[in-house]
Amino acid sequence: MSIQRFEVGARIVFADDAALQHVLAGVYESPDRPRCLCCEGGVEMYVARHRQFVLKRMPGSGARHHPECPSYEPDERLSGLGELVGDAVLEPNPGCFELRVNFPWTRVAGKGVPRGEAEETAEVMVARRRMSLRALMHFLFHTAGFDRWSPAMEGKRNQAVLHKYLMEAAEGMTVRGIGLAERLYVPEAFSEAGREEAARRRRAKLAVLHPRDGQSPLALVIGEFKGCEASALGRRIWIKHAPDAPLLVASRTWERIERSFGALLEARHADTGQRVRVVMAALIRARREHTYEVDTASLMLASEHWIPLEGVHELALVNALVQQRRRFVKPLRYDARTAAAFPNVLLLDAGPRPVPLHVLSPFLAGKERECKMRVFRDDPGVWRCTYEDAMPPLPATVEQGQGTRFAAPLAR
């Protein structure tokens, strides 16, 4: 399998070259731009430094890379991200994102809406988009690379990998002026031997929830939903790999969650023959010492390999692509009114351009069905799968020597 190549100064270096760190250190603070040689002429990159030097794509350049290149990123308009970039998602510096959200980081006890006489309007501000909790969860999974798949990732996605890459993605994001990594908790992979140390780190992390000056800070928990049980004061929500830290929620709030996300909760028990996950993003606050209460929650469906899904109707296609060792990206909805206009999957190994794959579910109704049918009318040759019928053959891969052109990162 070929490895990604870069032009750094006058030198050609491979992604797995032992000298790569030394070469990148030499240009880290220089104006020189390394180039990814995935296509003719190359694509400019930049050098970032975290725990080590890494090459990253320049903002807005993802679609210029070859689809099989690990630095490739689809056009933002092929997912719900396109509606948020520039308003809710800002990138003031390469790799640093300022996220504008529609939820607070703090609740203030007893604060109400101020009343008074109407005042003369002095100005009119343009309404700006703000991303929801679901959109933030989608953006984290996208930035961490979980919406992308290559055969090298088989068997390498687990709770430890989820924790590592979601936390790394959060390090480059700020929300309301606060680093997201400061407020994000993703459970570590549970082990009985490391249980006490993991609990100690969790309590230290969530100490940020301690009330101050009448304000109750919020934190964000992301993990796989395990179950919910009744308690004397409401409900206890259990997140996998955090068996000793239930999230408390009022019974009425849980009933609203069930109504809003009923289809996702039912998907865990659907007769698919394949495992699905329900991922929960919950804003929490401290009810009292080391007692965590849900303030806001959103749910997302994911495959066994942590690939986000819009619904069960996408599961057969995604699993077929994994089993056939294909490379693909799963476009995410974010805050778009419907995901029907977007490809259900973008296939990356079938040529110099990504190939959109569409799934038509018989349970799509109204405007969503019409939106998907409009896609088919505009492009009669588009690959499509009607859920009731057998899946048609997938577009063939492009053979390049003994393997594909690029090796993707192993973990993500």
One-character DSSP codes across 326-362: --EE----TT-S-STTS-SEEE-SSSSS-EEEEEE-T
Could you tell me if 318 and 299 lie in one domain?
A: no
Task: Name the more confident of 255 and 48.
Answer: 255
Torsion of CA 319, 323, 328, 334, to 10 degrees: 20
Count CB-CB contacts under 10 A for residue 114: 5
* Residue 312, both tokens: 């069960």
Could you tell me if 12 and 43 lie in one domain?
A: yes
Q: What is the pLDDT of residue 355?
A: 96
Is 110 among the domain residues? no
CA dist 56 and 95 (Å) reads 8
Could you tell me if 298 and 196 lie in one domain?
A: yes
Could you tell me if 157 and 291 lie in one domain?
A: yes
Torsion of CA 52, 53, 59, 61, to 10 degrees: -120
Q: Is the pLDDT of residue 386 over 70?
A: yes
* Residue 273, both tokens: 């023959």
Could you tell me if 184 and 147 lie in one domain?
A: yes
Boundary residue ending a domain (269, 292, 308): 308
Q: Could you list the residue range(s) of the whole structural domain that residue 43 is in?
A: 1-73
Is 102 among the domain residues? no
Digit-coded pLDDT (tens) for 85-138:
999 999 998 889 999 999 999 998 655 444 445 556 677 666 679 999 999 999
Could you tell me if 299 and 315 lie in one domain?
A: no
Is the separation of the CB atoms in 301 and 273 below 8 Å? no
Question: What's the total number of domains in the chain?
Answer: 3
- Angstrom distances, CA of residue 263 to CA of 49, 268, 278, 280, 393: 42, 9, 11, 14, 29
Q: What angle do CA 139, 141, 146 make, to 5 degrees?
A: 140
DSSP 273-325: SS-EEEEEEEEEEEEETTEEEEEEEEEEEEETT--EESSGGGHHHHHHHHHTT
- Angstrom distances, CA of residue 350 to CA of 4, 149, 310, 397: 18, 14, 23, 4
Q: What is the pLDDT of residue 408?
A: 44
Could you tell me if 230 and 191 lie in one domain?
A: yes
**pTM for this structure?**
0.89
Digit-coded pLDDT (tens) for 63-73:
899 998 988 99
Is 97 among the domain residues? no
Could you tell me if 207 and 266 lie in one domain?
A: yes
Could you tell me if 211 and 297 lie in one domain?
A: yes
Could you tell me if 161 and 272 lie in one domain?
A: yes
Boundary residue ending a domain (286, 308, 330): 308
Task: Name the more confident of 330 and 406.
Answer: 330
Could you tell me if 293 and 370 lie in one domain?
A: no
Q: What is the pLDDT of residue 404?
A: 43
